[in-house]
Amino acid sequence: MRLHELEVTAFGPFVDTAVVDFDALSDAGLFLLTGATGAGKTSVLDAVCFGLYGEVPGDRHSARHLRSDQAGADAEPRVVLRFSVGGRTFRTTRSPAWDRPRRRGEGTRRIQAHVVAEELREGTWTALTTRLDEAGLLVTDLLGMTVGQFTQVAMLPQGRFQAFLRAGSAERHDVLQRLFRTRRFEDVERWLVERRTVLRRESTRGHDAVRDLLGRVEEATEVAVPDDWALDDLEAVAGLVEAGSLRSWLADVGAGLAVAARAQGERLAAVDAAARAARQSLDVERTAASHRARASRAEQQLAALETGRTAADADRAALAGHRRAEPLLPLLRRVGAAGRETERATRSAERHRAAATALLGDRTQEPTPSHLAAATDEWRQAAAQARARLPQEQELRVARDRLVDLSARCERTRAEHARAQVRLEEAERTAAEQEATRRDLEVVAASLETDAAAEAGAARVLAAAEEHDEVTAELAAARDRLAAATAAAQDLRERYLDLREQRISGMAAELATGLAVGCSCPVCGSADHPSPARATSTVSRADEESARQTHETADFTRQALAESVATLSARLTSLATTSGGRPVAACRTDLADATSRHRASRDAARALGSLDAGRDDRQAALTRLTADVASLEVRVAERDRERDQCRDRVEHLATDLDDWLGRHDAAGSDVAALVAHLEAGVRTLVAATSAAEEHHRAAASLEAVRAEAREAATEAGFADGAAVGEALLSDDRVAEVAERLLRQERTRAEAEGVLADADVRAAVAAPARDVTELGREVDHAERVRDHVVAARRHAVGRCDRLEELRTSLDQALATWEPVRRSHQVTARLASLVEGTSLDNRWRMRLSAYVLSERLRQVVAAANERLAAMTDQRFTLEQVDEKGAGERRGGLSLRVRDDWSGTRRDPATLSGGETFVVSLALALGLADTVSHEAGGTSLDTLFIDEGFGSLDAETLDGVMDTLDQLRDGGRVVGLVSHVAELRTRVPSQLEVTKARHGSSLRPVLDVG
């Protein structure tokens, strides 16, 4: 994995957009990320980690505050990182969660974190995902390591590996477990133990099922298992299954039950034959008894028929009379219908004759048919004359309706004319008022541009005055800090010079401390050292170097403060010129006055524009209203003329009709009512004439039908029609008599048939037997058979139940066997990984063994670099013994000093030695984790701080080792503010802090 470009905005101390071109910095293979303390060097590493994983290393991630506090309220924090993995180029754009001010109202709105992951394909960026979880998984898959592993491998953090070097076994166990993700081995241990428990329960359930089935076999077969079988012992039951004893016993029991079932079957055949013979004898005697009873009932029925012969003869005579009278029934019905029709015609003629008499008004004499005919003609002529007057009456009605409508129209037209006249007057008055208002607005709107310029100028003066007050306070504070920084820098410079003079004075003693027996003196070259110089002071090179770095840091701070004071002074002068030295309160008053004037002129201009825009429309509306009033005056005159003409026509028609109705005795009525009255009279007279004629015809028809009926009754043998009526029977009576005669004949035939049957005659002739005794014999034989059937069913049921239980037992055994074998294997394996098995000689858990092996690999990789950095002096060793107060063993570390031949605790190393050993351990761990992560090559590596504790010679060794890391194209970034590294590393990225945020500046050649 290689980094190419980083872009940060509003992130950490970086307010504005800052871009880091790693490709340019990586040309030399080694670059220095430098800057003052707190400038934001570590924030650059945070941005790289955030761009990849959406998290920052260490404890800073828990703060959940990544946005720059100095950025503008609407500035979105963003990190854009371009990197490549395995020949593929990717770009991630991430923004952390932050609070943005609401665009309307007060308060803030939470903006959630978001990401865009892209890949460069054929020169075009192609989006891969916008989901946070998917982007994190994508980077984890590409790099083959989690964020925790990446921060330990690619970003060697400040002081983190010194803590790892000096940590106890428990703390080291947690770090190694997190880096190598060995928790899966603990999960394996836990899973095997849980699996062993689960399988134990499942195996116990299988054993319980087998034991229960054996108990059911005992209950079903009534055969007990052998006494030496321990069914409650799981292993004993398993032994019986594997030895075949269980299935052998079941086969023996099944054979015994089969023999018993066959014996019961043979006995059942014998008793069943005896029961069938007894049942057959009983059935034969019951049939004979039934035949004898039928013969007795037949004889009784024939005797009863002889007794009722007289009544049957009477029924036959009545039925014959009915048959003779039945053909005359239609003629009798005609006589009755003619009589009813004659009565109806009589009542109708009397009713219509009374109505005609009441209509004509002459009640002293009966109206004759000729009289009714003449009256009918007279009334028809009068009705025709009245119908001729109906169009005139309709015309009068229409004319009256039209008169009402014309009167309403006249009123509506006059009201519309009055409303139009009012609208015209209001429009004329409004036009005059708006014209006056327009002239006033033109005067106010003329100063719009002047007022706008005055308001803008007042706003600039107020802003300058307010900023002038702020910068004045900032300048005073900056001058105070500058004075303090100048004094501190001067004191530190004097201290540094004093320490340097003291060290130079004791240089001989310092060289003497490095002499060894047999080694040459670096000054004279002699191997003898008779009187080496002794130190007269305690100042070392490290003290001098520390004082120098402290002085340079303080002087750098002083320079930055001096630049800030100069910048603030220039800004203050510019602001004073802009504000004219006016106080803020006066500037605010001027701005309020200018704003008020500008608002008034702007409102006047808008109102004037609105008036001008509607001026033509208002004039056109006024013209239309004038024309409408004139048009309505003409319409009012036309409506009055039409109404008067219609009123004259109504009066003429009404006078003529009233005169005609008076002449026909219908004054106060109307023509339609008169026509209806005359037509109703005509209908009454016509109905009376028709009713009289119909009555005459009905009387003649009745007399003819009565004569025909008398003649037909005489021919049929009846004295008259009344005799015919008496002979006729009702339909129900005919059906009853016929059914009774038919039933008697059928009964006689059936009884004679029974007595003629051969079986019946044989049964009557044979002697009778005792049916009750035969029944008792049958019951006894069947009870014996039922008992044998039950015994056989029980025997067969035991055989069938045994087969069912044997099948269930086979299934239970088949289900139990794999579970039991799995439990045996899992139990042995769980004991092995727990360290409790006899096969585990070291009594070590699986996870502890894996971590111990991983630490051995880390130590081996670290020693390859540690030997070069310490001139073959130090070697890391892994020891198995536990430290004081530790519960874990196998993860302890010691440092072997080959010069003295002793094994030292890491806590006894000096500051520089600790850094060198920690760096070697960190690099070894990085190589091991990278290899463990799948071989992903990390071509960019960061090392954060720690170089200030090294002397020049050790620093050279460390730098040589770092140079070796560049082999194969790897880029190493050193994070430090040590001044000496600035001269050693030509490619640098300088982080500069300022009041308004930090900035980044690449320095690719420092000479």
561 closest CA partner among 493, 480, 490, 492:
480
> What's the pLDDT score for residue 1006?
47
Judgement on whether residues 540 and 681 belong to the same structural domain of the protein:
no
Verify that 451 and 561 share a domain, yes or no: yes
Say which range, 868-872, 885-889, 937-941, 991-995, has the weakest mean pLDDT. Answer: 885-889
Closest to 167 in 3D by CA, of 891, 928, 889: 891
**pLDDT score at 7:** 95
pLDDT, tens digit, 9 for 90 and up, residues 1-12: 889 999 999 998
- At residue 155 the predicted structure's pLDDT band, cuts being 50, 70 and 90, is confident
For position 300, what pLDDT does the model report?
A: 81
* Mean pLDDT across 655-673: 72
CA angle, corner 512, sides to 508 and 516, nearest 5?
160
For the segment 722-738, what is each residue's pLDDT rounded down to a tens digit?
Answer: 676 677 777 787 787 77
Structure confidence at residue 965 (pLDDT): 66
Looking at residue 127, its pLDDT comes to: 92
Strand duo 30-35 + 987-992: pairing: parallel
Given pLDDT bands bounded at 50, 70 and 90, which one contains residue 499?
Answer: confident
Q: What is the pLDDT of residue 412?
A: 86
973: β partners: 31, 942
Nearest to 91 by CA among 150, 149, 7, 148: 7
Position 681 in a domain: yes
In this prediction, residues 749-766 reach a mean pLDDT of: 79
Ranges of beta strands (E only) in 586-742 are none
pLDDT value, residue 447: 75
**Beta bridge partner(s), residue 940:** 971
Q: Are 572 and 714 in a shared domain? A: no
pLDDT of residue 688: 78
What Cα–Cα distance (Å) separates residue 200 from each residue in 279, 564, 811, 834? 65, 77, 19, 17
Task: Decide if 192 is inside a domain.
Answer: no
Q: Which residue has the higher pLDDT, 565 or 100?
A: 100
pLDDT of residue 537: 57
The band of 524, judged by pLDDT with boundaries at 50, 70 and 90, is low
pLDDT, mean of residues 145-151: 77
Task: Please check the confidence at residue 189 and state whether its pLDDT lies above 70.
Answer: yes
Spatial separation of the C-alpha atoms in residues 875 and 861, rounded to whole Å? 11
Residue 618's pLDDT is 74
- Max avg pLDDT among 85-94, 334-343, 652-661, 956-965: 85-94
Count how many domains the chain has: 3
Q: In which residue are the tokens 């006995």 written?
A: 267
What's the CA gap between 946 and 912, in Å, rounded?
A: 8
- In the chain, count H helices and then E strands: 28, 17
Structural domain ending residue among the three candidates 608, 630, 659: 659
Asked, for residue 337, whether it belongs to a domain, the answer is yes
pLDDT, residue 135, reads: 92
Residues 548, 695: one domain?
Answer: no
Give me the mean pLDDT over the 97-114 stretch. 84
Q: Give yes or no: residues 499 and 600 share one domain.
A: yes
- Are residues 681 and 651 part of one domain? no
Tens-place pLDDT, residues 225-249: 777 777 776 667 766 776 777 777 7
What strand order describes the sheet that includes 78-85?
18-21, 2-9, 78-85, 88-95, 114-121, 124-129
Per-residue model confidence (pLDDT) at position 518:
47
What is the overall mean pLDDT for the chain?
78
Query: HSE of 340 in the Cβ direction (CA atoms, 13 Å)?
Result: 6
Instruction: Using the predicted structure, report yes or no on whether residue 631 has a pLDDT greater than 90.
Output: no
Q: Is residue 950 pLDDT above 80, yes or no?
A: no
Neighbours of 838 (CB within 10 A): 8
Tell whether 166 is covered by a domain: no
Whether residue 475 is found in the same domain as residue 542: yes
Establish if 916 belongs to a structural domain: no
> Of 726, 743, 777, which one is at a domain's C-terminal end?
726
pLDDT band (50, 70, 90) for residue 95: very high
**Would you state the structure tokens that stand for residue 416, as one six-digit string?**
């519309």
**Amino acid type, 764:** V
Average pLDDT of the segment spanning 444-458 = 78
Q: Are the C-beta atoms of residues 84 and 90 closer than 8 Å to each other? A: yes
Would you state the pLDDT for residue 93? 95
What is the spatial distance between Cα 458 and Cα 691, in angstroms, rounded to a whole number?
120
Task: Give residue for tokens 């088949």.
Answer: 814
| Predicted local distance difference test score (pLDDT) of residue 508 | 58
Question: Is the same domain home to 650 and 693?
Answer: no
Return the minimum-mean-pLDDT range out of 126-140, 811-825, 932-946: 932-946
As a whole number, mean pLDDT of residues 664-682 equals: 73
Pair 211, 238: CB distance under 8 Å:
no
Report for 115-129, 171-185, 297-311, 373-387: range of highest mean pLDDT: 115-129
Residue 116's pLDDT band (boundaries 50, 70, 90)?
A: very high
Q: Of 659, 676, 691, which marks where a domain is finished?
A: 659
CB 709 within 8 A of CB 329: no
Phi, psi of 995 (to 5 degrees): -65, -35
Confidence band, pLDDT 50/70/90 cuts, at residue 948: low
472-481, 560-569, 623-632: segment of lowest average pLDDT: 560-569
pLDDT tens readout for residues 352-392:
777 777 777 765 466 677 777 787 787 778 778 777 877 87
- Tell me the pLDDT tens digit for each residue of 274-306: 878 877 777 777 777 787 777 788 778 778 877
State pLDDT tens for residues 330-348: 777 777 788 888 888 888 8
pLDDT confidence tier of residue 156, bands split at 50, 70 and 90: low
**Helix or strand holding residue 330 (H, E):** helix 329-360
Helix (H, G, I), strand (E, B) or coil at 567: helix
pLDDT at 937: 64
pLDDT over 90 at 593, yes or no = no
674 in the same domain as 655: no
Is 783 a domain residue?
no
- Among the residue ranges 157-166, 581-590, 818-827, 834-843, the one predicted with the least confidence is 157-166
Q: What is the CATH number of the domain that holds 972?
A: 3.40.50.300
3-state secondary structure of 442: helix
Residues 578, 703 share a domain: no
Give the range among 159-163, 173-177, 955-959 with minimum mean pLDDT. 159-163
Residues 11 and 138 in one domain: yes
Percentage of residues in the chain having pLDDT higher than 90:
6
Q: Find the range with the poorest average confidence among 13-17, 224-228, 481-485, 573-577.
A: 224-228
- In terms of average pLDDT, the best of 123-132, 783-792, 877-886 is 123-132
Classify residue 268: in a domain, yes or no: no
922-941: average pLDDT: 71
Whole-number percent of the chain with pLDDT over 70: 88
454 & 596 share domain: yes
Handedness of CA 216, 219, 223, 228 (dihedral sign): positive
Residue 678: give the domain boundaries: 329-390+665-726
pLDDT interval class at 533 (50, 70, 90): low
Q: Cα dist. 292→103, 304, 762, 768 in Å?
A: 118, 19, 9, 10
pLDDT at 529 over 60: no
Residue 814 lies in a domain: no
**3-class DSSP state of 88:** strand
Q: What is the DSSP string of 269-296?
A: HHHHHHHHHHHHHHHHHHHHHHHHHHHH
Q: Which pLDDT value is given to residue 80? A: 96
What is the average pLDDT across 17-25?
A: 89
| Lowest-pLDDT range of 21-35, 100-114, 252-266, 708-722 | 708-722
